[in-house]
C-alpha cells in the first residue's frame, strides 16, 4: 500500500513555490500522481450593497477570480514543466460557500492532501475551510509540514497519538504507508482511563496490529502534566526528536473547537513537527 494520488489546493501565487516544492518531493518519494487544484475564490459579500449593485460587483469579482485561477495554472505549469513526476492541474472559480463541496469532491478521490498550516498567524479563512473540507467532506488524510518549501524528512521517527478513539484508529490506518517505512513508531498514550478496555495494556492491541504490518513499535504511557493535550503532544514529539506526529482530528465538533479551542486547533496553531491528520 502506498499513496498514489496526492492532491494540493493553491489559492494564491505566494503558495505556488513552497507548497508545490513540498508536495512534489512527497509525490516523487511515493512515485505518485500529483494533482494541483488552482482556485480562484470570490470572497464578495452581498450584505450592504445598494439596489442594482450586486450584479455588477459579482461579475467583476468573478472576472478577477477567473484571472487569478488562470494565472495560478500558468505558474504551476511553468514550474512543473521540467519535472519528471506525473502531474495534472485542475482549475475552479468558487465562492466561499461553494469551496467545501469542491474540495471535498477532489479529496474524496485522493490518497493524501498536503496543506499549509490552517490556523495561526499568516493564515487565511480559505486555509481553514479547505483543511476541514478535506477531512470531513473528503474523508481524506492531510499532511501539514511545519514549513512549506523545506525538504520533507524521511519520517524515520513517528509519534502516533493513541486514545482509543475512532479518529485515532482512522489516523493509524491512513498513515500505514508512512508507519511501515519508519525506523520506529512511538505510540503515545496520555492518561489512559483506569477502567478502559485497554487498562491492562494501553496501546498494546494497536502495537500488535502495526507489528504484523512490519512496523517497529514502542509505547510511551505518560501522565497529563500540562493543562492541554496539545501541549503534551508537542512536548513529547520534541523530546522524541520525531519527524512526524500522527493524530486523529476533531474528536470534538468543529464549532466547539472554534469557540473553546481543542487539541487539533491548538496543536496546529504552533507546531514545529510535521503533522498527519485523519478522522
Q: Are 145 and 244 in contact (CB under 8 A)?
A: no
Buried b / exposed e over 20-50, threshold 16 CB at 10 Å, is bebbbebbebbebbbbbbbbbbbebeeeeee
Q: DSSP state, 11? A: -
Degrees to nearest 5, angle at CA 91 with 86 and 96? 130
Residue 60, CB-side half-sphere exposure with 13 Å CA sphere:
7
User: pLDDT digit string (tens) for 165-176?
Assistant: 999 999 999 999
Q: Are 160 and 240 in contact (CB under 8 A)?
A: no
pTM: 0.90
Model pLDDT, residue 259: 39
Kindly give the confidence (pLDDT) of every residue in the chain, 279 residues in length, as a single tens digit, with 9 standing for 90 and above. Answer: 789 999 999 999 999 999 999 999 999 999 999 999 999 998 775 554 555 556 566 778 888 999 999 999 999 999 999 989 999 999 999 988 899 999 999 999 999 999 999 887 777 888 999 999 999 999 999 999 988 887 788 999 999 999 999 999 999 999 999 999 999 999 999 998 777 677 778 999 999 999 999 999 999 999 999 989 999 999 999 999 999 999 999 865 554 445 334 788 888 888 889 999 999
Domains of the chain: 5-144 (3.40.50.620), 157-278 (3.40.50.620)
Distance, CA of 76 to chain centre? 21
Residues 254, 19: Cα–Cα separation, whole Å: 25
Amino acid at each position: 500500500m502506498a499513496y498514489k494520488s496526492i492532491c494540493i489546493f493553491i489559492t494564491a501565487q505566494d503558495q505556488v513555490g513552497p507548497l508545490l516544492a513540498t508536495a512534489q518531493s512527497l509525490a516523487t518519494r511515493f512515485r505518485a500522481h500529483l494533482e494541483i487544484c488552482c482556485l480562484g475564490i470570490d470572497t464578495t459579500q452581498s450584505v450592504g450593497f445598494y439596489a442594482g449593485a450586486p450584479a455588477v460587483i459579482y461579475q467583476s469579482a468573478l472576472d478577477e477570480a477567473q484571472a487569478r485561477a488562470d494565472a495560478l495554472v500558468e505558474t504551476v505549469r511553468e514550474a512543473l514543466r521540467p519535472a519528471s513526476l506525473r502531474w495534472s492541474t485542475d482549475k475552479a472559480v468558487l465562492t466561499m460557500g461553494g469551496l467545501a463541496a469542491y474540495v471535498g469532491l477532489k479529496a474524496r478521490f485522493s490518497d493524501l492532501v498536503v496543506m499549509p498550516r490552517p490556523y495561526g498567524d499568516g493564515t487565511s479563512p480559505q486555509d481553514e475551510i479547505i483543511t476541514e473540507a478535506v477531512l470531513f467532506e473528503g474523508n481524506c488524510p492531510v499532511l501539514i509540514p511545519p514549513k512549506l518549501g523545506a525538504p520533507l524528512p524521511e519520517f524515520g521517527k513517528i509519534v502516533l497519538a493513541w486514545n482509543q478513539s475512532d479518529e485515532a484508529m482512522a489516523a493509524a490506518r491512513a498513515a500505514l504507508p508512512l508507519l511501515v517505512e519508519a525506523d520506529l513508531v512511538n505510540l503515545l498514550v496520555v492518561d489512559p482511563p483506569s477502567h478502559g478496555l485497554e487498562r491492562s495494556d494501553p496501546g498494546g492491541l494497536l502495537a500488535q496490529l502495526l507489528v504484523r504490518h512490519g512496523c517497529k513499535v514502542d509505547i510511551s504511557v505518560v501522565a497529563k502534566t500540562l493543562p492541554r493535550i496539545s501541549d503534551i503532544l508537542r512536548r513529547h514529539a520534541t523530546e522524541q526528536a520525531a519527524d512526524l506526529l500522527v493524530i486523529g482530528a476533531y474528536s470534538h465538533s468543529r464549532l466547539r473547537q472554534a469557540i473553546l479551542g481543542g487539541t487539533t486547533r491548538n496543536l496546529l496553531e504552533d507546531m514545529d513537527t510535521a503533522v498527519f491528520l485523519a478522522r
